[in-house]
Amino acid sequence: MNATKTIGIIGGGQLGLMIAEQAHLLGARVVCLDPAADAPAFAVCDDRIVGRFDDPQAVEELCRRADVVTYEFENVPGDILIPLVERYNIPQGYRPLYDSQDRLREKDNARNNGLLTPRYAAVDDEASLRAAVSSLGLPAVLKTRTLGYDGHGQAVLRSEEDILRALPMLTVPCILEEFVPFDFEASIVMVSDGRQVVSFPVGRNVHRDGILDLCFVPAEMSDELLGRMKQLSAEFMRRCGYEGILAIEYFVRDGEFYFNEMAPRPHNSGHYTIEGCTTNQFRELVRYLLGMPLEEPRLVAPTVMKNILGQDLEEARRIAAEGHEGVYVHIYGKTESRPKRKMGHITFVGMTPERYEREWSDRFVR
């Protein structure tokens, strides 16, 4: 019998928590690194390191205590991770993080590997912004190239006033994108072990204030479009040589889909897979990390996932207490609740968008 393996996770948020839960089900131990002593994953992991993601010693200590290391946090700096990838077992490597950490590089990479993107241009100062506006037209979306702003750092430009108001953003490198009047947003989560790519059913995502609010699965789209999205996404992963987990968000419009962004970690839009599918995104990531063969997921029934932010936490607790068949309430155990902070999610299995709208939507803050 093989000895128990330990998975190291850089980051101890709700993604780390859910990876740890699935790791335990598959017989592995978990060690997490997070700067917050009360990080959600610390409640369930076997070993913990309280330390910063940009502290080389803390990240190396995590690697030392683990047999295999993954990340749930996207902004691990390259100068920390690259030297460790050489010496420790970090099978996803640094490449997918590097490719996703800068929106310009991310979009160039998507285009170079077979995906369509909205039109875009690099913007560094007022002159390049004005040049980009004249070539892309208005409306357009100005975004900072690197993350680290908690989903902020975006402005929709519709007029000259908007342009003037956005100028202060240009203290950091930015990208201007054409505004896509999408029919809907969709995302796909895939796991690859280098031989096989498995993908989870595609959901339709609804955002509110830039934060994912609802995910409806399956997304209502033609078989042709869905087939092409699955095929090109898997092909993208193969061409890039990525292993492990990758989520891609698309804008869907007029029978075509456009790459918006990607994340080489479990994705919020994939939380529904825990109960809505025969295997889930966290479990397949763990299977990959442990060298187990991947399982092809199947949707159990139409499913709706509702994110629970601070303003809906009490209602979520009530729903959990009431007990409804097919309704799974997850509360992440964060000590401080704030209005826009992700505190949990609810998965409704056997639920259509129409029935959700009729029976459940009124229970949450609009």
End-to-end, the C-alpha distance of the chain in Å comes to 53
Q: In angstroms, what is the minimal distance from the CB of 247 to ligand AMP?
A: 11
Nearest CB to ligand AMP, comparing residues 92 and 260 = 260
Nearest CB to ligand AMP, comparing residues 199 and 260 = 260
Nearest CB to ligand AMP, comparing residues 180 and 349 = 180
- DSSP tally for the chain: helices H, then strands E: 12, 17
List the Cα angle 167/172/176 in 5-degree steps: 65
> What are the residue ranges of helices labelled H in 42-173?
56-65, 78-87, 95-100, 103-112, 126-136, 160-166
Nearest CB to ligand AMP, comparing residues 150 and 224 = 150
CB of 199 within 8 A of CB of 189? yes
Half-sphere exposure of 358 (CA within 13 A, CB side): 5
Q: In angstroms, what is the minimal distance from the CB of 144 to ligand AMP?
A: 10
Residues that bind ligand AMP (CB under 6 A): 118, 141, 151, 177, 179-180, 185, 207, 210, 249, 260-261
Q: In angstroms, what is the minimal distance from the CB of 64 to ligand AMP?
A: 35
Q: Which long-range contacts (CB under 8 A, 24 or more apart) does 317-322 make?
A: 319/346, 319/363
Q: In angstroms, what is the minimal distance from the CB of 350 to ligand AMP?
A: 27
CB of 204 within 8 A of CB of 239? no
Q: In angstroms, what is the minimal distance from the CB of 297 to ligand AMP?
A: 24
Nearest CB to ligand AMP, comparing residues 60 and 183 = 183
